[in-house]
Amino acid sequence: MPKNITIFTTTTCAYCPMVKKYLTTKGLSYDEVNLDQNPERQAEALQLSGALTVPITVVTKEDDSKAVVIGYNLAKLAPAVA
Amino acid sequence: MTEDAQTSVHDVIMIGAGPAALSAAIYTTREDIGTVLFEKGVPGGLAAITDWVDNYPGFPEGVAGLELATNLQKQAERFGAVIEVGEVLSVKDEGEYKRLETTEGDKLAKTVLIATGSDYKKIGVPGEQEYYARGVHYCATCDGAFYRDKKLVVVGGGNSAVQEALFLTRFATHIDLLVRSEIRASDVLQKELQKNKDKITVHLNTTTDGIIGEDNKVVKVIGTNKQTGKIVEFQTDGVFVFVGLDPNSKFLQGSGVELDGIGLVKTNERLETTVPGIFAAGDIRSGATMQIASASGEGATAALMIREYLEGRKHPIQN
């Protein structure tokens, strides 16, 4: 079980609700950072992922290691939150 | 015509959950035809990632692409359509049934609707792959917000390119629109383009030849003015590409479903492919007009043809 999940989103991104829906169906809670409303955090999203895109899902595990999933990519998201 | 629980044979499996499949599902589920849709991406397909849709009937002020997609999904699910997340890897005709190899295991269906649509095509120039998602993008509604107060290049001259360039003016200080030949967008969009000429500069007859970066960032696009033959350069912080569509039909190799020269699915007037019981609708169909409204219409037509097929009856227009 992850210690913490943060999703970086934008208001108009169609893939972002899919990630949130997936996590909800798995019973996982998450924090959301909307980059339209919090543009000052774009640099943080870029630093974590190396990508200028959303959604970016940052999964912090029990041992504080981080998994970063770019986009709506279930093949990577599912093992990251397992 | 409900699901056969013992053999888990679905009445119809729809591959994709864009406007064509969701519209078809509204019709099939209302006919009590057991309907499962497989979607590897986002329900609504390209419509869901389109900023604004002004030409879908019934919305006098237009509608956000995501809102239209969400409403289509809700309407299909209200009547019992099941949308599964997964990718169909291959389709095999086993006579009475079709076997679909999916990321969620093999599935059987009496009929199949191929409605996988298309993805945005790549330009295929140096730098495009290297800077993907780090300066090169294919979804303005997803990634436009990263370019607040920045300069952008948009590549393409069709409806999508112009629509998304207009959307990106919310963020960017200036946009260079590189058009290989002439603008092909609708008159309405061209008028909008004119209204925004202080923010969008259109460069006709201009190819995009390379995307150049420095320090891990895109800094410029190099192209050629086809009329003068001169190399042209555009300083930019990012590039958004909308240069046409790439059909999602690779999984059909070996299925017996015939494709045309660019990979679109051939159908007859009943939207049936060369394999009986397998139908196609929407942007993936050869001859489709690549419009959301026509995809929805084709979905409705395909649903009625699927019903006829399942009932073992020929359509009344047939002799």
Mean pLDDT across chain B:
92
Nearest CB partner across the interface for A10, out of B41, B42, B142: B142
pLDDT in tens, A18-75: 899 889 988 999 999 999 999 999 999 999 998 999 999 999 999 999 999 999 888 7
Nearest CB partner across the interface for A39, out of B44, B65, B148: B148
Mean pLDDT over residues B218-237, rounded? 97
- ipTM of model over 0.90: no
pLDDT over 80 (residue B317): no
**Nearest Cα residue to B163 out of B263, B301, B291, B69:** B291
Domains and CATH numbers, chain B: 9-119+245-310 (3.50.50.60), 122-241 (3.50.50.60)
Nearest CB partner across the interface for B51, out of A12, A54, A71: A12
Contacts of B44 in chain A (CB under 8 A): 14
Question: In the prediction, which pLDDT does B62 show?
Answer: 92
Q: Are residues B190 and B162 in contact, defined by beta-carbon separation less than 8 angstroms?
A: yes
Contacts of A53 in chain B (CB under 8 A): 133, 137, 139, 142-143, 146
Give B144 or B314, the one with higher predicted confidence: B144
**Nearest Cα residue to B306 out of B59, B12, B92, B2:** B12
Contacts of B148 in chain A (CB under 8 A): 39
Do B66 and A50 make contact, defined as CB atoms within 8 angstroms?
no
Q: Are residues B245 and B119 in contact, defined by beta-carbon separation less than 8 angstroms?
A: yes
Q: Are residues B257 and B237 in contact, defined by beta-carbon separation less than 8 angstroms?
A: no
Would the pTM of this model clear 0.80, i.e. be above it? no
How would residue B104 be classed by pLDDT, with cut points 50, 70 and 90? confident
Task: Collect all residues with Cβ–Cβ distance below 8 Å to B210 and sequence separation of at least 6.
Answer: B125, B126, B127, B221, B222
Question: In the prediction, which pLDDT does B227 show?
Answer: 95
How far apart are the C-alpha atoms of B39 and B21, rounded to whole Å? 10
The pair phi, psi for residue B256, each rounded to 5°, is: 90, -10
Question: In the prediction, which pLDDT does B313 show?
Answer: 59
Mean pLDDT over residues B177-183, rounded? 97
pLDDT over 70 (residue B226): yes
**B67 Ramachandran zone, left/alpha/beta (phi>0; psi -120 to 50):** alpha
Do B42 and A12 make contact, defined as CB atoms within 8 angstroms?
no
Mean pLDDT over residues B136-165, rounded? 94
CB pairs under 8 A between A and B: 66
How would residue A76 be classed by pLDDT, with cut points 50, 70 and 90? confident
Mean pLDDT over residues B280-291, rounded? 94
Nearest CB partner across the interface for A54, out of B41, B66, B142: B142
pLDDT over 90 (residue B38): yes
Do B143 and A52 make contact, defined as CB atoms within 8 angstroms?
yes
pLDDT over 70 (residue B154): yes
User: What's the CA dihedral at B38, B43, B49, B51 to 10 degrees?
Assistant: 150
**CATH code matching the domain that covers A6-63, chosen among 3.40.50.360, 3.30.470.20, 3.40.30.10, 3.40.190.10:** 3.40.30.10
Is the Cβ of A56 closer than 8 Å to some Cβ of chain B?
no
Q: Which two tokens stand for residue A40?
A: 């000052």
| Number of Cβ atoms within 10 Å of the Cβ of B124 | 9
Smallest CA–CA distance, residue B6 to chain A, in Å, is 27
Contacts of A39 in chain B (CB under 8 A): 145, 148
Do B143 and A54 make contact, defined as CB atoms within 8 angstroms?
yes
Mean pLDDT over residues B83-96, rounded? 92
Task: Collect all residues with Cβ–Cβ distance below 8 Å to A24 and sequence separation of at least 6.
Answer: none
| Residue ranges covered by each domain of chain A | 6-63
Contacts of A19 in chain B (CB under 8 A): none
How would residue A78 be classed by pLDDT, with cut points 50, 70 and 90? confident
